[in-house]
Structure 1
Amino acid sequence: MSQTQKKNSSDGETKPRTSFVNKFLRGSKFMSSKAENGKESNDLETTDFQPSNDTQKTAALDTAQPLASEVELGSRMEKNEPFPRKLGTTAVDRCLDLNNCRLTAADVREAGEALEMIPDLEELNLSWNSEVGGNLPLILRKFQEGSKIQTLELVDCGLTSEDGAFVGQLLPMMQNLEVLDLSINRNIGASLNSIAQGLKSTSNLKVLKLHSCGLSQESVRLLDAAFRYLCELKKLDLSCNRELGGGFEDSSAQLATLECLEVLDLHQCSLTADDVASLTQVVPLLSSLQELDLSANKRMGSSSEHLLSRLRFLPTLKSLLINSCALETETFTALAEASTYLPALEIFDLSWNKCVGGNLKLLLETLKFLASLRVLRLSSCALVTEDVALLASVIHTGHLAKLQTLDLSYNDSICDAGWAVFCQNVRFLKELTELDISLRPSASRDCGQWFRHLLCAVAKLSKITEIGMKRWILPTAQEEELEHFHQDHRRSIHFDLGEFQ
């Protein structure tokens, strides 16, 4: 379940509340150790820009159902016993996930005593429970004497600045902490001084997420002072902090000391030209970097030539998201040249950069040699017929063989002849599961004869399940062809034609 879905769930659009006991019985059976569940940290929601679908994946809630006898037992216990005792009777010992449980104020108050009954707790997730805000010291008081806690997730808990200050005071007592997620708590930016001081004592920290936390330029300076103590940090998420722009100008030197950093997310941070100049000196030194997200920083477009050209020094980079950055021809050229030195690249998102249109040929060598590429997104790039013809020729020659997702949506300037050439060659993408050629919301067009080529190609693609074709209108004859296709092939392929069909 994505975080956006969880958010919707917390607004009251989900099934009736499951008893705490049932949740705990389920959790203790399937989530008792980190090794068994392989749990990963939640990805973070994006807001008002055109997003990539490839940001790091969210943790899935365990859907296993308890035995009938356990359900009955839980039901009886919920009616007759207080919350701390209900928690104490379960086998929860290391991992407690109360994510999106609609905790009431009373539940939150009782949880402070209940947590004291779990001395070996290693993972605690209280995310998406707004009543946690203002009560955090009461809930986490047991940790003031030290703890074995390794993962603490408090996403969208309505934390106050006082809660943030308490977290800062608590961090030195959490010597085993490896994952800290305080995302979508917009008031804790005011207490970042305390949090940053506390981070200096968490040398084992591997994941730090402060997405949408009201961080400012001053926050960057405070965090940068703490980075030198976080030698094990692998993932840093500072995204969707719009007031952060300008903070990297003179405060990024210690970022370069994060030699183990694998993921850096700075999307929608209002990065300035001076920020980019500073990051140009730092990012190429992050030799372990595998994922870089600079999306939705439109002010960096004309000033990022040197930063993008130096990405060639990151040979292990697997994911590069640079959509909605207002790139210009010179910066795109620098990026295209650098990308030929990124052999491990698997995810490449250039969407919403109009300069790509008519210039896709600059990526020709990259597209030929990115043997590992799985996701290519070129949505709303002002592509022209020449661009898709070039892409078709690359596909025809056997390149992009591992491509699974191809997004060419919102490129309305491609003529029917261009789509025909592309559709005739898409059959060579044997691993393709998702293709999107939708038109932008303001447009609609009749499908040309290329639709028949598309159906023939899809018939040869055994793994494809989703084809986005929103706002393309199928004449009656082509509707019948699609119906016959479904009858003949009996495969679960969704043609998303949107509202026009």
Structure 2
Amino acid sequence: VPSAPVSHSPKMSAHPSSSTVSNSQSLYSKPLASEMELESRMEGNEQFLQKWGKKAVDKCLDLNNCRLTTADVRETVALLPSLPDLEKLDLSWNDFIGGTLHLLTQQMHLVSKLKILRLGSCRLTTDDVRALGEALQALPELEELNLSWNSKVGGNLPLILQMCQEGSKIQMLELVDCALTSEDGAFVGQLLPVLPNLEVLDLSMNRNIASSLDSIAQGLKSTSDLKVLKLQSCGLSQKSVKLLDAAFRHLCELRTLDLSCNKELGGGFEDAPGLATLEHLEVLDLHQCSLTAHDVVSLTQVIPILSSLQELDLSANKKMGSSSENLLSRLRFLPALRSLLINNCALESETFTALAEASVHLPALEILNLSWNKCVGGNLKLLLETLKVSTFLQELRLSSCSLVTEDVALLASVIQAGHLAKLRKLDLSYNDSICDAGWTTLCQNLWLVKELMELDVSLRPSTFRDCGQWFRHLLCAVTKLPEITEIGMKRWVLSTSQEEELECFEQDHRNSIHFDLGGF
């Protein structure tokens, strides 16, 4: 703090008078107190953040899943004045936020530059969501809003999003499992035309919005920049697909489409040409949609056109098993495909053969899930060439495929030859027909898969078997696998000596690897 200026006039005393001292103190004590107060506040802020293992970053405050208490919420609010440039605030997965949000919303004007606000699963009350609606008006720069898993959002959506005006900057709106009503759905439809920058819309797990899907679909026609549309488990029907299909022609930038878990949707794709216009689509999720044979015929014409497709999920559609031969054979036209999930589709020999022949042409494949398709058992050799050329394969799931010993021996030979080097997850569970010799052969070569993180060889819930000598080979292999953390061995019964071996192993490796031996 600078000293008071000294006068050189001969009429002035060399020592300042009491009034001068008083004036000096009044001039400089306030800034001094402010500086000390600011320093103290910053130290308190740092201590608060350190409690959660966080660091003070001017533009980002991430306190998701920190079990914040009401007192913590008050401390969070106290942070805001020192973060005027804050752009991201994430308080998701903190149950005690509910009922206290007004403490935050009253100070929201202090962070008017906020672009990202996440309040997912905070048990927000009706009062909270109403207060939020008023506070959002003080955030003109808001681009991302996540209110997912807050049931009180339902019925109050217009109050929350009243801040959205023509030309709003909102790019991402996530309202998963918010108990949205049919009226909320209709409001979304009216809202979409004033969100020209919207890129992500997730309304999943709101079953009551299906009845207002005509309004939503109409609104989607105005969101030409939309890249992600998720309507998982929304009670969609055949009619819903027709409504959406008319909107698809306007969504030329769409990258992700998720219509999964809509069990009444089956039959809706029989005449849905709009899907073929999504030429930039990278992710298509239609799992558990009760797809019919006619749907499969329609998709057979569409999917080869989607040449940018990287992820395709058709799992849990059992009716397509006997009618998807042509569809699966055309997967060869998707060279960028990285993830193919076709588990639990009741594939038959002909359809599996078509898949195996097409998969050779998928060099970028990273995830392949064929679980719960019994026809794979005894026929894994059909995938031999695919396993050789899939140099990027990271996840292979063959659970409950009726695999036999010869299948596992084939897999071991592929590993021994140096293939599957990038594999991180291998699921061979619920294949009870594999004998001990097969498991031994596999475990003897498992150490070559250096990046393996998860292995599952669990038995079916109804089966219990004594663990053979292959267990020792497994332990030996695991010592040479630096990344592995999880081994599923449910319902395998270890002998006393094997239990001792496992105990010694775990002591040596400080429990860094979890052996799941449950299920009894």
Superposition TM-score, scaled by structure 2 size = 0.82
Matched, 1:181 2:206: no
Q: Tell whether the 8 Å contact from 2:306 to 2:334 is kept in structure 1 after alignment.
A: yes
Q: Tell whether the 8 Å contact from 2:148 to 2:174 is kept in structure 1 after alignment.
A: yes
Matched, 1:298 2:318: yes
Q: Tell whether the 8 Å contact from 2:218 to 2:247 is kept in structure 1 after alignment.
A: yes
The Cα offsets for residues 267-289 of structure 1, whole Å up to 9 and x where unpaired, read as 00000000000000001110110
Aligned AA for 1:368? K
Q: Select the residue among 283, 302, 327 that pairs with 1:263.
A: 283
What is aligned with 1:428? 448
Query: In angstroms, what is the RMSD of aligned CA positions?
Result: 2.5
The Cα offsets for residues 382-428 of structure 1, whole Å up to 9 and x where unpaired, read as 10111001111111111101000000000011011111111111111
Quote how far apart the aligned CAs of 1:260 are. Answer: 1.0
What is aligned with 2:43? none
Matched, 1:124 2:142: no
Q: Matched residue of 1:140: which SS?
A: helix
What is the rounded CA distance, in whole Å, between the counterparts of 1:25 and 1:313 in structure 2? Answer: 57
Matches within 5 A, 1:70-149: 84-90=105-111, 93-149=114-170
Aligned AA for 1:271? L
Matched, 1:237 2:258: yes
Q: Select the residue among 216, 222, 228 that pairs with 1:207.
A: 228
Structure 1 segments of 4 or more deviating over 2 A? 14-34, 60-64, 81-84, 86-92, 486-491
Quote how far apart the aligned CAs of 1:89 are. Answer: 3.5
What is the rounded CA distance, in whole Å, between the counterparts of 2:439 and 2:84 in structure 1? Answer: 49
What is aligned with 1:227? 248
Aligned AA for 1:135? N
Matches within 5 A, 1:349-368: 349-368=369-388
Aligned AA for 2:275? L
Superposition TM-score, scaled by structure 1 size = 0.85
| Paired-residue identity, % | 72
What is the rounded CA distance, in whole Å, between the counterparts of 1:492 and 1:61 in structure 2? Answer: 31
The Cα offsets for residues 215-268 of structure 1, whole Å up to 9 and x where unpaired, read as 1101111111111111111000000001100000012x1111111110000000
Assess, with a 3 A threshold, how the Cα gap between structure 1 residues 187 and 99 changes in structure 2: closer, same or farther: same
Q: Tell whether the 8 Å contact from 2:179 to 2:206 is kept in structure 1 after alignment.
A: yes
Assess, with a 3 A threshold, how the Cα gap between structure 1 residues 267 and 492 changes in structure 2: closer, same or farther: same
How many residue pairs match? The answer is: 450
Matched, 1:320 2:337: no
What 5-or-longer segments of structure 1 have no aligned partner? Answer: 1-13, 38-59, 65-73
What is aligned with 2:429? 409
Question: Which has the higher Rg, Structure 1 or Structure 2?
Answer: 2
Q: Matched residue of 2:129: which SS?
A: helix
What 5-or-longer segments of structure 2 have no aligned partner? Answer: 1-66
What is the rounded CA distance, in whole Å, between the counterparts of 2:78 and 2:238 in structure 1? Answer: 45
What is the rounded CA distance, in whole Å, between the counterparts of 2:221 and 2:71 in structure 1? Answer: 39
Assess, with a 3 A threshold, how the Cα gap between structure 1 residues 29 and 237 changes in structure 2: closer, same or farther: farther
Q: Tell whether the 8 Å contact from 2:112 to 2:139 is kept in structure 1 after alignment.
A: no
Assess, with a 3 A threshold, how the Cα gap between structure 1 residues 460 and 217 changes in structure 2: closer, same or farther: same
Q: Tell whether the 8 Å contact from 1:30 to 1:62 is kept in structure 2 after alignment.
A: no
Aligned AA for 1:102? R
Q: Select the residue among 294, 302, 310 that pairs with 1:274.
A: 294
Matched, 1:339 2:359: yes
Assess, with a 3 A threshold, how the Cα gap between structure 1 residues 312 and 255 changes in structure 2: closer, same or farther: same
Q: Select the residue among 151, 160, 171 that pairs with 2:181.
A: 160
The Cα offsets for residues 454-490 of structure 1, whole Å up to 9 and x where unpaired, read as 1111111111111100000101011111112223344
Q: Matched residue of 2:328: which SS?
A: helix
Quote how far apart the aligned CAs of 1:86 are. Answer: 3.1
